[in-house]
Structure 1
Amino acid sequence: MSSYRDLQVFQLSRKLNVMTYDQVIAKLPKSEMFALASQMRRAVTSITFNIAEGYGRKSIKDRIHYLYIARGSTYELEAQLITCVDLGYLTEEEITPIMEMEKNVARMLMGLIRVNEGW
């Protein structure tokens, strides 16, 4: 691998960013633009950003730390998507494709963590 940009999980997290912005955040009411929408933007971009930052760090320990942060952000996004349904902003059907992609990203991150930890 020559760059974090070559990682499949990085590429999938970029797609997750776009899907979340287009299919979720854009549909939220204006009253949520500075609350839930803002939190979702931070969570979903944090995934991609922390993968990149981890690969820019000097040690494997630091890399793993940032991969765990990215993984935590996937769960934060999941909870936010559930909240969107709970509040009636979106339906289960609308969030299903994003939730599935989020779960794939979380699984891939755990696999990458295991590889870096030498499991």
Structure 2
Amino acid sequence: MDLSEAVYKLTVDFPNSELFGLTNQLRRASVSTASNIAEGYGKCTRGEYVQFLGHARGSNFEVQTQLMLPKRLKFGSDQHRQNAERLSDEVSRMLVAIMTKLRK
């Protein structure tokens, strides 16, 4: 949820022309990351949980990729972008750790 909040704070300053482009894509991918973690946790089996954590990891990779473009185009504040990047990296590490533990 912290990642999604950081992405929303970053994208609020994007140009209006990006509302249905990069703004929407970044927001959806960050929310999808958190939603897949929650949905997987609510599943009945460990295998399903791991599967949804994999979906969350994929969505988080989308976020990481999409965060490169605002940096290049100088959209949003550097502070908000760096915070979102840091949180995305942290989410990535946590997902790998949880998936590794669950697979044992």
TM over 0.5: yes
Q: How does 1:20-99 map to 2 (within 5 A)?
A: 20-22=7-9, 24-90=10-76, 93-99=79-85
Deviation readout 1:66-114 (Å, 9 max, x if unpaired): 0011111111111111011122214655422211111011100110001
Aligned positions, number? 104
Paired residues of 1:51 and 1:66 also in contact (CA < 8 A): yes
Deviation at 1:42, TM superposition (A): 0.8
3-state DSSP of counterpart to 1:27: coil
Q: What value does the CA root-mean-square deviation take over the aligned residues?
A: 1.4
Q: Distance in 1 between matches of 2:55 and 2:81?
A: 23
Runs (5+) with no aligned partner, structure 2: none
Runs (5+) with no aligned partner, structure 1: 1-13
Paired residues of 2:33 and 2:57 also in contact (CA < 8 A): yes
Structure 1's consecutive aligned runs of 4 or more residues displaced over 3 angstroms after TM superposition are: 90-94
Residue identity opposite 2:88 in structure 1: E
For normalisation by structure 2, the TM-score amounts to: 0.91
**Identity in percent:** 31
Deviation readout 1:14-68 (Å, 9 max, x if unpaired): 111111101x110110000011111111100011100011011122111101001
Q: Distance in 2 between matches of 1:98 and 1:35?
A: 18
Q: Comparing both chains, which one has the higher relative contact order based on Cα–Cα distances under 8 Å and sequence gaps of 6 or more?
A: 2
Q: Distance in 1 between matches of 2:2 and 2:79?
A: 19
Paired residues of 1:85 and 1:91 also in contact (CA < 8 A): no
For normalisation by structure 1, the TM-score amounts to: 0.81
